[in-house]
Amino acid sequence: MDVRTRTLIATALALGIAAGPTAAGAAPAPAPASGAAAARVSAGAEAPPLYTSPPDAAALRKAIAGVGADNKDATAALVRVGGTSGRWSGGAGVADVRTGRKAFEEARFRAGSVTKTFTAAVVLQLAAEGKVDLDRPVQQYLQGLLPSGPGGFEPISVRQLLNYTSGIPAAEGPGDSFEAQYAHRFDVVDPHALIARAAARGPEFRPGERQHYLNIDYTVLGVLIEKLTGTSYEQALSARILRPLGLHRTSVPSPAENRIAGPHHHGYQAVAKPGGGTSLVDVTEWNSSSNWAAGDLISTTADLERFTEALFAGRVVPKAQLEEMFTVPAVTDFESGEDAVQTAGMKRFALADGTVVYGKTGSRFGYSTVIGGARDLSRTLVYSVNSTDAKGRDMNQVAYGIVAAAFARQS
């Protein structure tokens, strides 16, 4: 194995691009930034771009080669690599394994937890406008939402919701297995009922002591957005981000909506057959109301690239508040015990060469998504991979290859 191959593998492993959400909490502790990355960490320091050469087109094409109906890892992949260092986009696979229709660039897909980045951006906009104080307890804004007193919740700041240090546990649901969730795929879940179920379990830890990456914090933030704006979460998101940025193909489905409106890629889950092997189950139609402000978004790679570039450039959230999205709390992860890596709506990734990038992963059955890049916008990455085991613990090999190729430095 040559040096370049080892570097690509180490990079992908450092990014922790695994299919399931559990992997986000189990990512390696971030390595200290070095070189240009370290210089940029210093307040006000100027540094050369982290990426100066264009994306490695050959490596990116190789990463998605073979994706399709017969690929064990993914039926389709759409990739956009951008930034000041150059651009590349490509796609492979099929939009529908039944008809064999080819994957297409404009396809819509479920973006999963990438929704959290949008939700955090709205909350930080409200903070910039003086409509919410990040240090103020959310209980003062949403009275009665979380029980207090013996066995109840201490004051939880809005910032602690944003960076997953609230201590609110996950709400109990139908179960973690695909079969259990598939049986309830059309259930309509009210966010207030979800919060009530979570709150009934009591706190996992005192606010600010640990970090536990869970959807429930962003469900509470969705309710907070509705309270502060006097509109629905969907209307607030549209008015504050989608329309101003021209993200015309991005939307949040209505609570009872099961389909992906408009041209889209089908999602599939590989399920074991009794006699051995696997078969693909179409999971495109699914009610995602239980994910809501934490994972309900439907989008395209072009829209997500536009959002990522605008966000990092300070055109979505004012720069003072934007720092929250690049700040990791000085606590340990609740599950792994290692240093926290999640920020407000994003995550800090340390590459094998010391370069630090920021972004967000998202997974729904049939769909895996990533947005992010270098903070200086010299390199960005957005992909949608129709993973056949999007919630699994093992690293998706197609995503692995895309990430390694996108962040490789050409000599």
Q: Give the confidence band of 287 by pLDDT, cuts at 50, 70, 90.
A: very high
* CATH number for the domain harbouring residue 188: 3.40.710.10
411 domain-assigned: no
Q: What is the DSSP letter of 82?
A: E
Give how many domains the chain has, as a whole number.
1
Examine the pLDDT at 391 and tell me if it is beyond 50.
yes
Examine the pLDDT at 191 and tell me if it is beyond 50.
yes
| Rg value, the chain, Cα | 20
- Pairing of β 210-211 and β 332-333: parallel
38 domain-assigned: yes
**pLDDT value at residue 175:** 80
**pLDDT value at residue 395:** 66
190 domain-assigned: yes
pLDDT digits (tens, 9 = 90+) for 150-188: 889 999 999 999 999 999 999 988 888 899 999 999 999
Q: Give the confidence band of 298 by pLDDT, cuts at 50, 70, 90.
A: very high
**pLDDT value at residue 129:** 98
Centroid of chain to Cα 165: 17
What is this structure's pTM? 0.90
Q: What is the DSSP letter of 89?
A: E
Query: For residue 27, what are the domain limits?
Result: 3-406
Q: Give the confidence band of 137 by pLDDT, cuts at 50, 70, 90.
A: very high
Examine the pLDDT at 38 and tell me if it is beyond 70.
no
**What is the Cα–Cα distance from 339 to 29, expressed in whole angstroms?**
5
Tell which residue, 206, 211, 203, 202, has the closest CA to residue 165. 211
